[in-house]
Chain A
Amino acid sequence: MADKAKILVVEDEEILLAALKEELLTGGYEVDGAMDGLQGLEKVKSFKPDLVLLDLLMPKMDGMEMLQKLKGDSETRDVPVVILTNLSDYERISEALSLGAMDYLVKANYKLEDLLDKVRMVLARKQ
């Protein structure tokens, strides 16, 4: 890979955001973070990520709304989104997938390898 792929993490839990960012950095990606949907949307435009990791439950604008906005905008429609979620959210997961999210990652107990695998896969599929 000539250029480092850019990943945006949108997650309101500060420590989780820090962990994910660091892990993705370690995985060799260029990373930025946002703590709510509004900030996330701005960052998608300014940072132009190749992939968005998106939490669903967030203040100001939740993940589902942000996903809808992303998919409704021709400029950002094609950015692949992976949902960050909790185990019990199957209903939301399927809703998010139907809205155009590519995959999901269960936050509780995720392993570093799972995260990097998933990111690699989605980026490969995009190309």
Chain B
Amino acid sequence: MDLTAFDTSPQDVYWAATIFSGLVLIIFWFEYRRTRGKLFVRENQMKRRMYELSILRELGERIGYSLNVQKIIDIIRGSLGKLLPYSIVAYMLPNEDGRLIFNVALAEPVSKSFVAEVKTRMLKSFSALFDEVYSADDIDESISGVVTDPANPAKVESLFNVPIVINNRPAGIFTVAATKPDMYKTSEEVEILYTIMNQASEAVSKLETVLEVEKGKLNAMVASMADGVLMVDNQNRLIVVNPQTLAMLGITVPEPTIFDVLDTLSEHFDLRTKIEESRRKDKLIVEQEIEIDEHFLQILISPVKDRKGLMLGSVVLFHDITHDKELEKMREDFTSMMVHELRSPLTGIRSIASLLTTDKVKNEEKKYKEFVELISNNSNSMLELVNDLLDVSKLESGKFEIFKRPGDLRHTIEQRIKSLNALAQENKITLQYKVLPEMPQTLQFDENKIGQVLNNLLSNAIKFSLPGGEVMVAAFFCKKSQDLPQQAANFGLPWQGLKAGAVCAIDAVVVSVSDSGVGIPAREIGKLFNKFQQLSTAMKSEKKGTGLGLVIVKGVVEAHGGQVGVFSEEGKGTTFYFTIPV
């Protein structure tokens, strides 16, 4: 209709207005309908969203800190009815023993064959998901909800599987099935299922990650412990065992169980009984000195409880006390050696002194003189031992004091050489002395104490050199990070058994005493500066001496901020050196 073609009359205007209004009304009506439809959909969406949220909140609260997937799935299943219609809802999960849990809840009284079909279809999906073939025999089934109705002919018309995924690993499947066709086809329905499953698995995954991190920290801590640690639960199943435990017990099987541990200990004591006893009495049990493979273990067994006091299991700690025992033994040996070293000569002195009073000895001039000399020598060496012991004990208690003053080290060395020349000649040993260039004129050091150090090193060198041998004393300057053996070689010093690697820590003067003696076996070198081992070695040696000299050398040099070292080659000779910082 072409309105503009009319001549405008009031009637025409009326009609036009009427038609126009009608059109507007129609348009508005359509518009209204459209908007209403949109609102309705939005309202529905909101409703669903609210459901979802409330379910998720409920899930969140009820899941709490549970990592038990089955529990979580149970919760989801319990709430799903509010969102989706179904005849049955089921899930399938692997359990700890490698079997399958098939749990189904009936919302409608379907038949057993309905359930069986769902089970078969789920099993198929499950096998595909886990890439492993499971049969119906692997299934532990449990059915809840309304009672099955054998007479219900309804078949499975709709079925939907959702995989349960935790931390990107498949954990099981969740399935809804209905007797009505064409369900679970719309994106909304599917979305609900996926959303809920995702949220749940995300929550568990996060929790699992947190726990994994915590567990990782704990494991790292346990693994890095020097002591052996193992934990068992209330059923005495091994939960944690660190490598130290296995090493201490000599267990080498790849995946040890508590039985490996129990077996290893069985000949010493019954760990299982002790673990149970400690849980029963709720107290720490300590097993002292269990000897395994020449190692002594102290074993502590303690119950473990959570914050509420609920018993969780037990922890067993293995503490290697071999070293402590060795130290104790060394200390005992040291004491008895010391007593022996002092008592034997003292007994001799007493006997000889008493003999000196007898007329028989009095009248024999030669014997008399000999006995007096014996007393004198022996009291001297005893005094030496007592002095050495005092020095060592001062060094150990940190009461050893040095008084550093500027002095000429060369002078100190010369003096000591002079004083020991007689002993050297007696042993047919030549003493040599070499001062190398760049030696500073003055140095801060304690002249008496360094004199004692030189004395000890020189008399050792003379003592352990063969007749006709040579002892060389040298002093030179060594710059920070300079290679010490290299320096010695450059200067043409007769250091035997040189090994690379010794570096001057700071600018220092190096003093070395080298002999051409029997040398020291490599395994003995570590013992040289240990007082306990030195005295007992000295006792067995045919050379006289307390063996404490080197312990004192080390103490004095370290008090100066210097270092001591030794190079040796059996049959060729030994070099002891020490440094004094410049």
Contacts and interface: CB of A to CB of B under 8 A. Distances in A.
Given A26-B360, A57-B539, A13 B344 contact: yes
B347 A14 contact: no
Contact of B348 (A15, A36, A57): A15
Nearest to B538: A59
A88 B333 CA distance: 11
Nearest to B348: A15
Nearest to B378: A15
Interface stretch (A46-54, A64-72, A75-83, A102-110): A102-110
A66 B278 CA distance: 53
B358 A18 contact: no
A127 B493 CA distance: 66
B336 A19 contact: no
A86 B347 CA distance: 11
Contact of B344 (A16, A18, A60): A16
Nearest to B370: A18
Q: How large is the interface on A (under 10, 10 to 19, 20 to 34, 35 or more residues)?
A: 20 to 34
B305 interface: no
B542 A19 contact: no
A88 B371 CA distance: 29
Given A22-B361, A57-B340, A13 B355 contact: no
Interface residues of B, number: 27
Nearest to B355: A22
Nearest to A115: B351
A99 interface: no
Interface string B333-357: 0001001100111011101101100
A26 B358 contact: yes
A112 interface: yes
A116 interface: no
A23 interface: yes
B347 A108 contact: yes
Contacts of B540: 59
A88 B338 CA distance: 13
Chain B facing A: main interface SS: helix
Interface string A1-17: 00000000000011111
Given A22-B355, A23-B351, A59-B541, A16 B345 contact: yes
Contacts of A20: 351
A108 B343 contact: yes
B355 A110 contact: no
Contacts of A112: 351, 354
Contact of B542 (A15, A23, A60): A60
A57 B378 CA distance: 18
A86 B343 contact: yes
Contacts of B358: 26
Nearest to B351: A19
A23 B355 contact: yes
Nearest to B341: A13
Nearest to B367: A22
B165 interface: no
A124 B225 CA distance: 66
Contacts of A60: 542
Contact of A15 (B339, B354, B367, B374): B374
Nearest to B349: A15
Contacts of A109: 347
Given A86-B343, A88-B336, A108-B343, A19 B541 contact: no
B537 to A, nearest CB: 11
B248 interface: no
B548 to A, nearest CB: 18
A109 B328 CA distance: 28
A14 B347 CA distance: 11
A28 B193 CA distance: 115
A14 B542 CA distance: 12
A110 to B, nearest CB: 7
Interface in B361-415: 361, 367, 370-371, 374-375, 377-378
Contacts of B347: 16, 19, 107-110
A81 to B, nearest CB: 19
A18 B348 contact: yes
A42 B186 CA distance: 111
Contacts of B348: 13-19
13 contacts: A13-B344, A14-B374, A14-B378, A15-B352, A16-B345, A18-B348, A22-B352, A59-B541, A60-B542, A86-B339, A88-B336, A88-B339, A108-B347
Interface of B: 336, 339-340, 343-345, 347-349, 351-352, 354-355, 358, 360-361, 367, 370-371, 374-375, 377-378, 539-542
9 tightest A-B contacts by CB? A15-B348, A19-B351, A16-B348, A13-B344, A59-B542, A15-B374, A15-B378, A19-B352, A19-B348
